Structure 1
Amino acid sequence: LHNHHFHGVLYSCLNNSLKHGDSMHSAPPPDTLAIFAWILADLPQYRQPQEIYEDTINIQGDPGSNGSCAIVAHNFIEYCIADDVPQWTAGSAASFRDQALTELIAYHCLAENSE
């Protein structure tokens, strides 16, 4: 979260890189590398990334797609990891929000019944 806006950032330990995706196509927050350096400081098996690569991500802004930055950031990470995850588009914003709400309700119900 940076300036009330969510960005997607994915660390790859295979090639020691950070991928950044933003639904407003803005630059990553200036402290991103420092944050990952802090996260990885006590994990000597992982090297700290030295640069951030921009990745392709659809832009929000069409009617009905505003306010989707958290869902787009989450989708960016899922999409980078799994081949079978559809990529968010402005036209699919409502269905992605519905899916997130459905998953949140299902999680809540499972958590309530697990005690």
Structure 2
Amino acid sequence: DTQTYSPEIIAIRERIRSGQLDSIGFVSWTNDHYSATCKFLSNPYEFGDSLNRRDAPDLLPILRWAFSGLNRFAPPLQQQSIQSGLMDVQGYSGGGSCGIAATNFVELRAGLPIPRWQAEQSSLFRDLILQDLLLYHLIARGKTTVRILSFILSARPDSCISRLILIG
């Protein structure tokens, strides 16, 4: 393992072997565009793309290579493609939000209680993620107080940061 895989892939493989993972979701960047791929134990891999593109032709071979020997996550050899999941298609109003749409695709499949990304509300999703990033920065830098944090959590109970803080 250690000679053919990066440290990150080795770490994921070790977590899978330990039984700690029952799902995988990731965002990928192909041809200047973000898309997402998810896998849950009881379901096949699912691909989401806000431009309604198919998965990249090398995605299945890469997944087979990365998860070789890990039967729960290695796609079967007979599988020819990854099924497309439900995702709104970007229009003029959703331009530039492929990364946010892809992240939302993964979060929804992970069971987070959040709204599904929609192209016409793309600017709202960008604003919410920006708020989450700013809050994360403040928390990471220790630049916030319990009072400010309590206010933010009560004002935005659906934010990613709120979910992370409440979970762990």
Q: Same fold (TM over 0.5)?
A: yes
Name the TM-score class by shorter chain. Answer: 0.7 to 0.9
* Code of the aligned partner of 1:69: C
What SS does the aligned partner of 2:130 have? helix
Equivalent residue number for residue 5 of structure 1? 33
Higher RCO, 1 vs 2 (CA within 8 Å, ≥6 residues apart): 1
- In the alignment, structure 1 residue 48 sits paired with structure 2 residue 74: yes
- TM-score normalised by the chain length of structure 2: 0.60
- Looking at structure 1, the residues matched to 48 and 88 of structure 2 have their Cα atoms a distance apart, in angstroms, of 9
Gaps of 5+ in 2: 1-28, 144-168
What is the identity percentage for the equivalent residue pairs of Structure 1 and Structure 2?
32
Deviation at 1:98, TM superposition (A): 0.6
- Looking at structure 1, the residues matched to 55 and 42 of structure 2 have their Cα atoms a distance apart, in angstroms, of 21
- In the alignment, structure 1 residue 38 sits paired with structure 2 residue 65: yes
* Code of the aligned partner of 1:105: L
What SS does the aligned partner of 1:7 have? strand
Question: Deviation per CA, 1:7-58, whole angstroms, max 9, x where unpaired?
Answer: 111012223x11011000011111111222233236x363412341111210
Larger Rg: 2
| 2:46 and 2:84 in contact (8 A); partners too | yes
Of Structure 1 and Structure 2, the greater helix share is in 2
Q: Which runs of 4+ in 1 moved over 3 A?
A: none
Question: Deviation per CA, 1:46-93, whole angstroms, max 9, x where unpaired?
Answer: 341234111121001133x10000000000111122162211111110
- In the alignment, structure 1 residue 87 sits paired with structure 2 residue 116: yes
What SS does the aligned partner of 2:92 have? coil
- TM-score normalised by the chain length of structure 1: 0.85
The RMSD of aligned alpha carbons is 1.9
Report the count of equivalent residues: 111
